[in-house]
Amino acid sequence: MRFYQEITLIETLDASPYFIWSKLYTQLHLALVEQQNSDKTVNFGVSFPNYVAPRIEQDEKRRGSLGNKLRVFASSAEELQRLNLHKWLERLADYLHVRSIQPVPATTPEHVLVKRYRVDINLDRLTRRFIRRKEQREGIQITFKEARKLQNQRYAENQKAQQEGNTRSKAEDFPYIKMQSFSGEKEFSLQIQQIPVRESVQGTFSTYGLSNHATVPHW
C-alpha cells in the first residue's frame, strides 16, 4: 500500500461522532462496492490512526474508540482517483475534511491488521473446544451432550451476573459503526478490531476495507 487519503471528522454541535461515522462509512462502503473485484473483494484497505483498543485500567473496563480519523489505502494514486472519495462524501462536507491523495511515508515501520470483530457463534465448534480444554486442563473426559449441558449452565450464570452487575460483554467493548443493510430493513453494528503486527501482508479486503489477513501501514 503506497498511497492513501485521510478523512477527519469535524466536531459539530448538530451531529454526534456516531452519526458522522455511520454516514461516512455507509458512503465508503457504497464506493468500495463499485470498485469490487470479481470475487467481491477490493484492493483498498482502511485504518483508524487514533484507534484505542478496549482495555482494563485499575480494574475498570474501558471501551475502545475509533478516534476521529480514517485512512483509505491503495497501491497506486490512480486507484484512489478512480475511487473518487470527494464525490462520494461531498454531501458530508460540513462534517468531514478529506485530504488529497498522498504517498505513504517512506519510513513507516509499523503495520496494522484491521478486521471486523465477530463473536464465535458456531456452537458445535465451541462445544468441541470446550471438551478439549476439559481434557487438557482437568484430565476429564466428557461427552458432547454433557459438555453442551455445562455450557448452557455457564451461559445462564453469566447472563444473570451481567444483569445484576450491569456489565458488558467483551464484544460490546470494541468500537463500532452503526450500519444499515442494503434493504434498509436491518441495522447492525460493524465492530472494529485494529491489531499492531510486525510485518506487512499483501492481500485484498472486504467492501468495508477490512481483512482477516492483509495489513495496512500505520504511523
pLDDT of residue 14: 92
Predicted structure pTM score? 0.76
d(CA 53, CA 115): 13
C-alpha distance from residue 137 to each of 133, 143, 150 (Å): 6, 16, 16
d(CA 17, CA 73): 22
- The owner of cell 458488558 is 168
d(CA 199, CA 215): 8
d(CA 140, CA 153): 18
Residues 142-165 have pLDDT tens digits of: 998 998 888 788 766 655 554 444
Q: At residue 138, what are phi and psi to the nearest 5 degrees?
A: -115, -5
Q: Is the Cα torsion angle 89, 81, 201, 213 positive or negative in sign? A: positive
pLDDT of residue 138: 83
d(CA 135, CA 142): 8
DSSP state of 122: -
User: Splitting the chain (219 residues) into consecutive groups of 10 residues, what average pLDDT does each group show?
Assistant: 98 94 98 97 98 77 92 99 98 97 93 88 75 83 90 68 47 86 80 95 97 96
C-alpha distance from residue 19 to each of 72, 77, 88 (Å): 20, 29, 17
State the CATH architecture for 3-119+171-218: 2-Layer Sandwich (3.30)
H helices of the chain, where? 17-34, 77-83, 85-89, 123-138, 144-165
pLDDT of residue 122: 63
Give me 109's grid cell: 515501520
- Which residues face 74 on adjacent strands? 3
